Structure formats: C-alpha cells, structure tokens
Structure 1
C-alpha cells in the first residue's frame, strides 16, 4: 500500500470517526432530559442543592402579610345569594315528620335542571339545621333550590320550568306544598348575577418553554415534586394541594397527556409545561398568584426554561407585578359581594 493510499485511508477513518462522534453528540443533546436519582424524602421549596449541578429550588419569600386560611367547610348548602329557593311545607307536620329514607326515595334521578345544580334540603327535627336528607333522620320541612348561574351561563326560563317540575314532584311524594318565587324575577336575578360573575372571573395561565433540550415526563415530575406538586388524576397533570383538606388545589401543572401515556415515557419529548390558577376557586390566604409566580421562576431556572404567556411572549417581572395588583382588586370586589375567592359560594358560582 502506497503512502498516498495509506494517508487517504487514515483521513477517511478520521472523518468517519468525527461524523459518528458528531452524530452521537447531537443525539445526546437533543434527547429529552431525564430525571435523576433524588435523595430527598419530602418535596418542598427548601429542596437544597439539586443533583448533577442543577440549580437549587429556593423557598419563596412572600412580601404580603399572610391571610388566615379557611377551615374545612361542610357540604355546600342552598343560599339565597346564588340559588332560587322554594320552601316546601308539609301538609300535616303535627302528625309526624318525613323520614330520611322517604325523602331520599322521592328525590329525582338527576340533580340538575338543565345545566344548573338542583338540590333538596330538609330541616332536621333534632338539630333544627338544614341539610341534605340522610337515612335515620326525620325532617319537619323541606326546601328545593336551583343555582342561578354558573360558568355555563344564567338560569333561563326552560331551566326554571324544569326546576319547578322536579320540586313539585318531590313535594307531592312527601305530601308537601311548595311555594315558588316569580319566574321572571328569578331569571332577571340570574342574569344580573351571571353578568357580575362573567366580569369578575379569572383563570390565569403561565407557559414554561424549554430553551434548548426538551424534557422527559419524569424530569418535569421530579422538579415539580420538589415544589410540592403531586400527581393528579389525569396523566400529565399535577396539582399543588391546598392548605386544608377537601379544598380545590392551589395550582395546576400540565403537560402533554400522550407523552405521559407513551410506551416509553423517558423518550417522550416535552417542550412546554402549563401552570394554571383558577382564581375564584382558591382562597386568597393561600397566596396563589405569588406561589404560581415563584413556582414558574424556580422551574424555569432549574429546567433551563422560559416563562411566557399563552402567546409565547416572555413574561417580565413588571408584567407579573401588574397582574398581582389587578388580582388584589378582584379579591376585594369578590369580598364586597360576599363571594370571596375560595368560599363555598364562589366555588359553586365559578364552576
């Protein structure tokens, strides 16, 4: 073999090796980032240094004074502020009250009138409290109700008529007589409430976008868990639980469901994650927007991402400050209307 042939062979081998190396480097660079072994035992904002040199997730410092969190609430009951209520007087209460079993048997098969929740409550003879009928209890009076408005719109005439039919059927079954409010008055009240709710509803969303390499589902879940997020009921969704049991989550975090359901999720490439806040559903004492902002910032730093709005525009600190100020005004308005964010009534109205 001549020197020229040998030299060409060596050069060819070097070129081939360079191509293979570049291909391997590119493949690794573009591969989704994977979760690493984590020695933490509990998630939290004070997670400490992350493995493999990843940025530490720092605990946020809240500037505003804490607002007391609500105590766990009983099952929501009818309220004249957001419900049409029809009293049902029993024909002969002196002869004995209606049992809970009889009341439950008289209930309609569905608890809705159109798109609005329908409910019946009984006045418990023992406690003298209005409650959903229960076995083993006796009731001396009843009231039927239908919600005036929710996120589907205001109660209309057709839904009101369905409410009347269901309430009348229940009253007949328990030997009672209902007294219905004037339909036109209640429909007008429903429209006014719906107009207020539509003008004071707020569902916020941040999008976290990958700057370079994509993320695997496990990578996203690991970083979110360090901030207190837990798995939701839907694949690809996580939630930040409220401070009291039985309340809606403070924040939601979601990514592509198909990526989470893939045969090999580690190879699924996720390039964006959505953070969400349903403002009327969460008590202001949870400081939800501040926690949303802190979580977005911490995740962006740890995962090499960028926080943007739904249109892909980067969200600067000044823009977030404006949103926070507007939310405080919204909270005050809801409080003044007795529909405080996170309350039973607000959660029912904004649902």
Structure 2
C-alpha cells in the first residue's frame, strides 16, 4: 500500500467520522429543544399500555388558540371575534396600540423564533423608553408579520399572553431637534443586543434615510412653531384673593404656580404671575401647535385682560412691554389664524396627536 492509498483511507475515514459526529450532534440538539418545549418523556407512545382519557371530547386538528386564527380588519371587529370562553385571547386581553404617526417615527421590528411573554422585554422597555426626550413606543404582536403582512399591534406594557414580534417605534423629531445618527446608533445597538440575547431577528430602516427625513421634518416644524405670549400689568394693590376670583370666574384653574385654561378637549393656554416692586405681571402663554383651538384661547385671554383693565387699570402688553391697541390685537388675530391654517395644511392641525408629538 503506497502513501497515496494511505492518505485516501485517512481522509475517507476522517470524513465518515465527521459525518457521524455531525449527525449525533444534530440529533442531540433536536432532542434537547424538544425536551425544553414539551418536557422530558422517554416513553415510546406506540408502546403505551394505559388507555387515554375517554371522557375527553374529540378534538379536531387546527391551529393554536392563543392567537387569532382570523385577524379582524380593524379594531372595531375585535368584539365580533369568536374565540371561545375557555381560551385566553391576545386580542381581547390587551389594548390596541393606537396608530403611530409614520412620518414622525422609525420602526425597529424584532421577530422571535418562539412565543415570548412581557417579562422578556420588560427590562428593555423600562431601560430604553426615550433618547434625548424622543419617545420610544413599544408594541407587541401575536403574529410575526413577515413579508409585509399586516398584523394587530398591542401595547407592549402591560401585555398578557405571548407574542412573536416586538416593535420599537422611535420618534425622529421634536422641539429638542431632529434625530441624530448618534442617537439612532445608540437605540439600534441596544435593540440588537436584546435580539441577540433572545435569538431573534431584527429589522430596521436605513440610518441615513431616517436622519435625512428627521432633518427635513425639523426644518418644517421650526417654521411652523409658535409660542404666543401676552402680558397683563396688574397693580400690586390688587388683593391676591380678588385676582384669583376674577381668573376663576373666567374659567382659569390654578395648578401649582401656574394657572391653566382648558376645556373638554384639553389645555388652551397657561399663565404665570411674576411679582415686581409695585406691580404684578400676569404672563399668558399659548402653545399654538399643542392647543386645539389657539384662536379661542387668544379670545379668552383678551377678554379676561380687558376685564382686569377696566376694573383695576391693567393694560394688555406684548413681549416687548408695549401696550396693545385694538388694531394691534386684531393684527395678532390675523397672524394667528394664518399660522393655524399653515399647521393644518402641513398635516399637523393644532392640538392633534401628530402636532403634540412633533412639538413635544
């Protein structure tokens, strides 16, 4: 036997040994996974001698009932979904996540290879809820939602049952500025680490595209953002209880050091009292994008200030300390109406969820 034959025998023998070792390892790994999922049962079911429970009803083959077999087209159809009384249903036990404004968020989607409960992602949600005051909204779904499939997303915390997908929606712009590449990378690194720890896949958008979109939105928001400030100069001789009485009669409510004007739809304006020797300055503020009716808020401020002026001699002034005439107030009205129209035309009506998100 020459050297070539010996070498071939060694190579062949080594290959066979490697195949045997690989097959053994594969068998061991699959058995281990089966044991983890279904428990350790070494009994051969074909040799089982005891009789099954004959009192149990016959069960037809089907899909697992811990998720919806037929997903409703909208949230309004959830109460029409028949899932049975004995089985918990993710769609009935959890709160739907309200639609996230796609223009203002970038989605990172983590898909698990096995169903996970809320304890899996709770540390992530608690430790990564924002970056530079830009919110991260977490949603969970009982379906993986691959290949563009639409699924129902529920609030990730609290969440009852199990999910196959977790979505982290990162806000890309607010009054702190646009999302930066550093902020994007920070969030992505933490989400990647989480996915690796749970043997999950992660899907995320292109960083350059998201950052560019964030900068564009921030520039548009800067041109639309408006904080309107008006001031009423009240003599120091006016008693505080009388001042508070007049504000309360006009619908203002004191909360801490601020006075708030609101209605059934939310806050309209705020006011802070600044004291100085011999006078008090009532500083009113309208956060135009966040007030659902800025024009009404302006009207209420002008009304209460005119009332205070008539009773106590408290003129209405602008931020520069100039007393506002009737003509000047009318000009402010027209500018405010134009700004409200611009916000609405841009898709961010004052007081809307989108506006409150962008101008947070």
Alignment TM class, shorter chain as reference = 0.5 to 0.7
Distance in structure 2 (CA, Å) of the matches to 1:129 and 1:198: 32
- With structure 1 as the length reference, what TM-score do the two structures score? 0.66
Structure 1 residues 187, 224: closer, same or farther in 2, change over 3 A?
same
Structure 1 residues 170, 293: closer, same or farther in 2, change over 3 A?
farther
Task: State the Cα distance separating 1:167 from its structure 2 match.
Answer: 2.3
CA RMSD after TM alignment: 2.6
Distance in structure 2 (CA, Å) of the matches to 1:242 and 1:132: 31
- Aligned counterpart, 2:282: 273
- Aligned counterpart, 2:138: 120
Conserved 8 A contact 1:116-1:150: yes
DSSP-derived class of the 1:81 partner: helix
- Aligned counterpart, 2:233: 209
Conserved 8 A contact 1:239-1:252: yes
Structure 1 residues 99, 322: closer, same or farther in 2, change over 3 A?
same
DSSP-derived class of the 1:219 partner: helix
- Aligned counterpart, 2:169: 145
DSSP-derived class of the 1:311 partner: coil
Structural mapping, 1:1-351, within 5 Å:
78-92=100-114, 97-123=115-141, 128-210=152-234, 214-232=237-255, 234-235=256-257, 237-244=258-265, 247=266, 249-256=267-274, 270-284=279-293, 287-351=296-360
- With structure 2 as the length reference, what TM-score do the two structures score? 0.65
Structure 1 residues 300, 329: closer, same or farther in 2, change over 3 A?
same
| Cα deviation digits, residues 82-117 of structure 1 (max 9, x gap) | 11112222234xxxx322233323425141223422
Q: 5+ unaligned residues in a row in structure 2: which ranges?
A: 1-95, 144-150
Q: 5+ unaligned residues in a row in structure 1: which ranges?
A: 1-73, 260-267
Conserved 8 A contact 1:229-1:239: yes
Count of aligned residue pairs for this structure pair:
258
Task: State the Cα distance separating 1:195 from its structure 2 match.
Answer: 0.4
Task: State the Cα distance separating 1:194 from its structure 2 match.
Answer: 0.5
Q: Looking at CA atoms only, which structure, 1 or 2, has the larger radius of gyration?
A: 2
Q: Which has the higher contact order (CA 8 A, sep 6+)?
A: 1
Structure 1 residues 132, 324: closer, same or farther in 2, change over 3 A?
farther
